Amino acid sequence: MNAVRVGIDIEQASMVGAQIRTGRQGHTLAAVSARALPDGLMFEGEVVDVDGLAAELKTFWKSAGFSGKRFSVGIANQKIVVRTMEFPIIDPKELRAAIEFQAQESIPIPLAEAVLDFQVLSTTPGEVEGAGRQQVLIVAAQRDMVQQFMQVAKKAGLTVDGIDLQAFALMRSVAPPVAFVDQGAPQADGASALINIGAGISNIVVASGGQPRFTRVVNLGYESLVQAVMQNRGVGHQEADLLRLTVGLSGSAAAAADLEETTVAEVHGVFDATCESFADEIRRSIDYYHSLQQDAPIARILISGEGALTRNMTDYLSSALHLPVALGNPLQYIAENKSKLPQQELELIAPRLAIALGLAFEDEE
C-alpha cells in the first residue's frame, strides 16, 4: 500500500508544494507546484493576513492538483525555541514530565502558551544501572503563532496533517545520507551546515550522523539583494529579481544578461556589498556552533531555497566563509518523477523544493 503525503513550504514571497507517494520502490514525486504570493501575507516566518493567505492557499491547492485535503507545513521564525538538554535514561512518560519541568526554567515561553515537542538524539549507557544519560532536543513554539497556520488551512478547506520545524524538513531532504560504517561505506568527515535561503528569513541547521546538532533562524534573505538593486538602479521588483538570477554576485559563472561590462560590475558590487551582512550572520552562527560542539566541526555547507538560485551564491559564500559550498540536492531521495514537470525543469528549481519535499518525506523513511 502506498502512503501519500503533501508538504507545503509557505514563505514571504511564494508557496511551494510537493506530493510524494511512498511505496516499496521508494519515493515517487506525484505532483509539484509553486505560486508567487503578494506582499503582506507573511513576514519573518509568521502569518500576517490569515484570510488573504487562506485564499491564496485554496487557489494554489486547486491548481496544483494535489489529492486529498491534508498537508504538512513547516515553521521557522523567532517564536520558536530549540534547546539540547541532558536527562537520565528514564521511561518515556517520565521523560516528558521531566522535560516540561526543565523547560519552565530554560525556555523563555510560558508552558501554557507553548506547543512542546522533543526528540531523543543519543543515549549513553552508564556503567551502573540507572546511571545512563540521554541527549534530548526540545522544541517549543508559541501556540498562537502555530494556530495561525491551522486557521489558514481551515479557511482554505484543508487540514494540517503535521507541523514541523523547517530545519528538520531541510535535514530530511538535503542532508547527506548517513553511511553505515559496519557495511564498509565511507563515513562523511565532519558535520554539514544546511542553509535554506528564503525571501525574508534563512534557516540554518547543522547535521551530523543523521541528527540535528544546531538550528537557527536568521531574519535575512534574498529579498535584501533585490531591494538593494531596486534602489541602486531605479528598476522594478521583477527586473531586480531577474538581475539576481542572471547577473548575481561576483564569481566563476559569467553573467547571463546582455549587459555592458560596467553595468555588470556595478550590479555585482551592489549584490556583493549587500550579501556581506548575510555572510556575517552565517559566520557568527558557525562560530557559535563550534563553541558548543567540538567533536563534529563543519566540513561543508549545502544551500537551498530560492536564494540559493542567485547566480554565484555558492562561490560568494565559499570565499566569504572559507568552506566548500554547494547546492543541496533534495531530489536525492526521489526514485521517480511522475509530476507534470519535466525532469530537466525539476532539477533547475530543485533547491527551492527542499523544505516542501522534506515535509512530504516525514515519517516515511
- pLDDT of 156 reads 97
Element (H, E) at 211: strand 211-218
Start-to-end CA distance of the chain, whole Å, equals: 15
CA torsion, ordered 305, 311, 315, 320, to nearest 10 deg = -70
Q: Which residues contact 200 (CB under 8 A, 6 or more apart)?
A: 11, 12, 13, 42, 43, 44, 45, 219, 220, 221, 223
pLDDT in tens, 167-183: 999 999 999 987 654 34
Judge whether 27 and 333 are in contact, CB under 8 Å: yes
Which structural domains are found in the chain, ordered by start? 80-142 (3.30.1490.300), 178-328 (3.30.420.40)
Instruction: Map grid coordinates 530554560 to a residue.
Output: 106
Q: What is the pLDDT of residues 68-119, one digit of tens each?
A: 999 999 999 999 999 888 899 888 889 999 998 888 888 888 888 999 988 8
Residues whose CB falls within 8 Å of the CB of residue 245, separated by 6 or more in sequence, listed in order:
309, 310, 311
Q: How far is it, in rounded angstroms, from Cα 324 to Cα 300?
A: 5
Question: pTM value?
Answer: 0.92
Q: Is the pLDDT of residue 292 over 90?
A: no
pLDDT (mean) for 19-38:
94
Predicted pLDDT at 127? 66
Task: Give all strands of the β-sheet with 191-197 in edge-to-edge order.
Answer: 211-218, 202-208, 191-197, 298-304, 325-327
Tell me the pLDDT tens digit for each residue of 145-167.
999 999 999 999 999 999 999 99
Angle of the 261-292 helix axis to the 313-321 helix axis, nearest 10: 50
